[in-house]
Amino acid sequence: MRSRGLGLVVSVSALSCNAMLGISDTTHRADAGYAGQHVDSGTTGADATGGSTGTPAACRTNAECLDRTGEYAPSACIAGLCQKLFTPECPLVLPQTERRWVDNLRHADPDPLILGVFTDVPPELFGVFSKNYDLALTEVSRAAGGIPAPDGKRRSVLAVVCKNIYDTTDEFDRAIDHLADDLQVPGILAVLEASDLEYAFRRKGRDHDILFMSALEADRALSQISDGLIWFMLSGGEELALTYGPLLDRSVKHLRESGRLAQDEPVRVALVTTDDVRMLSSLSSALTDGILQINGHSARQTSDDYFRAVSIASSDLASQVPDYTAATRLLLDFSPHVVIGAATDEFLTTIIPALEAEAPELQPFYLLSPWHDKPSRLGPLLVDFPQLYARMAGVNFAAAADRTLYDDYQARFNAAFPNSSSSDSRGLENHYDAAYYMIYAAAAAGAKLPLAGSDLSDGMRRLLSGPVTFSVGPDDFPPAFVALDAPGSSIVLNGTMGPPNFDPQTGARREPGTVWCVDEQRVIHDDMLRLDTDGHLTGTFPCFDFGEP
């Protein structure tokens, strides 16, 4: 799976501050580059940036600020003032590898490009998603010494990491304001749900001209207000929906060929949607508005006898698990042949188990969402219902058809972080790509200081088409930078997820979903079926006899 990077999906902007499963402030001793317990330090001990009244001290270089505060509560010289890098909400700076952030900050000439990051921050602070950003920043530092800067110099790139889940909106506000006001970052790598990303963009991103490079899925509402300042590594619900149409057709054909649905019997299809997750809501709307064809009619034109839409609340958003009894009863009374789960974890943990336990004779075919493409989520279900694997298939964000770049990236990640478990560190290429597109966007913006988000957006558009193709990874930096140095030039930058199929106006990735399945040994097989240009599913389906298209 192309990981969404969130253990829990919570919209801070929509909360009345319910308790979230998130990240609490760490209280262990800080290593250099980590923020532990908040420590005030400086010339008088009153402020982490050297001011005696809490006001940032004046400065000319980053080295001055580091000398005042030390590496355990570091500060950087931003617009002539020593600004602390760490806050309780933003406890980490990258790259951690070889402590490059220290050298890149202390000895940089010109000043480094400082980016922001919103992502998962585990108790040990340096989590698997941050490691992907770290790998990209380390590679540009090692291979090229940074991005092009005036006078033929190189500019190092750092990133301050902030948490993406908070207990209160005030905490989220402080993180946004720290990146936008104190550090004046021109770009933010974001692992934020659509509502949180919109909140951050409206609060400071738009007015401060900050580009957000989202590692997650595109959102149509955000694309309409972003003015090119939000780009998405993953497709949106509307693009994913395109795959469900032919997948439903193949599922119905399979049911008829296997004898579970008579040849002349109309099929009954249920659609279960967690409407409080924006991507799933948009996916469901696209399915209902024309993608799904049920007995020769669109879902919206199909009678309630053959199509039933059921809305539920996401268990991932709730402080207490919602009661799904009524939804389950509706499904049982409807007796669907196919159940589409445009839903989060509750579909696997509650809905399917209830249907299988209460009506074992029903045996519907299940079409799953990207949320469900994880062993930890599917494993318990398939232990309880071992034969269920042969009645399910899912849609996920598409990986690259050519896996060469992905395999090379994965090998480098494993070598750099050998202690990261394979189950946690695979399928994260969208996070790695996000960092690379941000780095190259900054390079393509031209050797200018300072950079603004609109400059990065213009630079991003120079990576989408051109006469020469380059790839993410350490090998292509020097020649790619040379190619971008010519005024008006552009290149194609292929990521580990494939070609840069982005809409240059909306920043949305345009890539239909691919089909995954689970075999008898509970092994997930990703990207088994893809849509061709005619809208037909092609590929090999290895999990069970699923018939032919």
Question: Shortest CA distance to 155 belongs to which of 438, 441, 488, 448?
Answer: 448
CATH number for the domain spanning 424: value is 3.40.50.2300
pLDDT per position as a tens digit, 366-395: 999 999 998 888 999 999 999 999 999 999
* Residue 66 within any structural domain of the chain: no
CA distance 32 to 160: 13
Q: Which residue has the higher pLDDT, 347 or 449?
A: 347
CA-CA distance, 105 to 111, in Å (whole number)? 7
Quote the radius of gyration of the chain (alpha carbons, Å). Answer: 25
Q: Are strands 75-78 and 81-84 parallel, antiparallel or unpaired?
A: antiparallel
Q: Is the pLDDT of residue 227 over 50?
A: yes
Q: Note the pLDDT of residue 3.
A: 53
pLDDT of residue 176: 98
Cut 0.85: pTM above it: yes
Structural domain count, the chain: 2
Q: Are residues 444 and 527 in the same domain?
A: no
Those residues whose C-beta lies under 8 Å from the C-beta of residue 443, and which sit 6 or more positions away, are: 147, 148, 459, 480, 481, 484
**DSSP codes joined into one string, 423-450:** HHHSS-HHHHHHHHHHHHHHHHT-S-SS
Q: Is the domain of 123 the same as that of 229? A: yes
CA distance 272 to 335: 13
Structure tokens at 42: 């400086």
Cis omega before residue 380 (within 30°)?
Answer: no
What pLDDT sits at residue 547? 85
CB 364 within 8 A of CB 339: yes
Find all residues with CB under 8 Å of 303, minimum gap 6, and list them.
none
Indicate if 110 and 179 belong to the same structural domain. Answer: yes
Cis amide prior to 110 (ω within 30 degrees): yes
Backbone conformation region of residue 17, classed left if phi is above 0, alpha if psi is from -120 to 50, else beta: left
Q: For 85, which DSSP code? A: S
Q: Does the N-terminal peptide bond of residue 499 adopt cis geometry, omega within 30 degrees of 0?
A: no
Q: Residues 442, 390: one domain?
A: no
Sheet containing 113-119: order of strands: 92-94, 157-163, 113-119, 187-190, 211-217, 230-234
Residues 141 and 224 in one domain: yes
Q: Are 472 and 494 in contact (CB under 8 A)?
A: yes
Q: Kindly tell me if the per-residue pLDDT of 315 is higher than 50.
A: yes
Q: Clarify whether residues 262 and 227 are in a common domain.
A: no
pLDDT in tens, 171-192: 999 999 999 999 999 999 999 9
Tell me, yes or no, whether 241 and 365 share the same domain: yes
- Please check whether residues 124 and 221 belong to one and the same domain: yes
416 & 455 share domain: yes
Q: What residue ranges in 181-280 does DSSP mark as E strands?
A: 187-190, 211-217, 230-234, 269-274
103 forms beta bridges with none
Taking residue 512's Cβ as centre, other Cβ atoms within 10 Å add up to 20
Do 381 and 406 have their domain in common? Answer: no
Q: What secondary structure letter does DSSP report for 549?
A: -
Residues spanned by the domain of 152? 89-235+399-512
**Closest CA relative to residue 96, chosen from 187, 191, 32, 162:** 32
The angle formed by the CA atoms of residues 193, 133 and 20, to the nearest 5 degrees, is: 35
Q: State both tokens at 343.
A: 């839903």
64 part of a folded domain: no
Percent of the chain with pLDDT over 90: 82
Tokens of 3: 């990981």
Which H or E run includes 539? strand 537-539
Band of pLDDT at residue 425, cut at 50, 70 and 90? low
Look at residue 188 and tell me if it is in a domain: yes
pLDDT of 376 reads: 86
- Asked if 424 and 450 sit in the same domain, the reply is yes
Say yes or no to pLDDT of 450 above 80.
Answer: yes
The yes-or-no verdict on residue 411 having pLDDT over 70 is yes
Range list of β-strands (E), 206-266: 211-217, 230-234
pLDDT of residue 109: 85
- Arithmetic mean of pLDDT, 229-258: 97
Q: Is residue 33 part of a domain?
A: no
Identify whether 329 is part of a domain. yes
Task: Using DSSP bridges, classify how beta strands 514-518 and 392-396 pair: parallel, antiparallel or unpaired.
Answer: antiparallel
Specify the DSSP class assigned to residue 202.
I
Shared domain for 345 and 412, answered yes or no, is: no
Is 213 strand, coil or helix? strand
HSE (side-chain half, CA atoms, 13 Å) at 441: 33
Q: What is the DSSP letter of 358?
A: H
DSSP 520: T
- For residue 65, being part of any structural domain is answered with no
CA quadruple 91, 93, 99, 103: dihedral positive or negative?
A: negative
33-77 confidence digits (pLDDT tens): 665 433 333 333 334 444 434 688 999 999 999 999 888 899 999
Q: Does some domain include residue 337?
A: yes
pLDDT at 298 over 50: yes
Token digits of residue 87 = 């806050």
d(CA 251, CA 536): 13
* 418 CB-contact burial (10 Å; exposed 0-12 / middle 13-18 / buried 19+): exposed
Q: What is the mean pLDDT of residues 197-213?
A: 98
Task: Give CA 545 to chain center in angstroms.
Answer: 33
Closest listed residue to residue 135, CA positions, set 406, 399, 400, 415: 415
Q: What is the pLDDT of residues 75-107, one digit of tens each?
A: 999 999 999 999 999 999 999 999 999 999 998
What would the mean pLDDT of 240-244 be, rounded to a whole number? 97
| Residue 13 belongs to some domain of the structure | no
Among candidates 274, 263, 240, 244, which has minimal Cα distance to 338? 244
Amino acid 321 reads: V
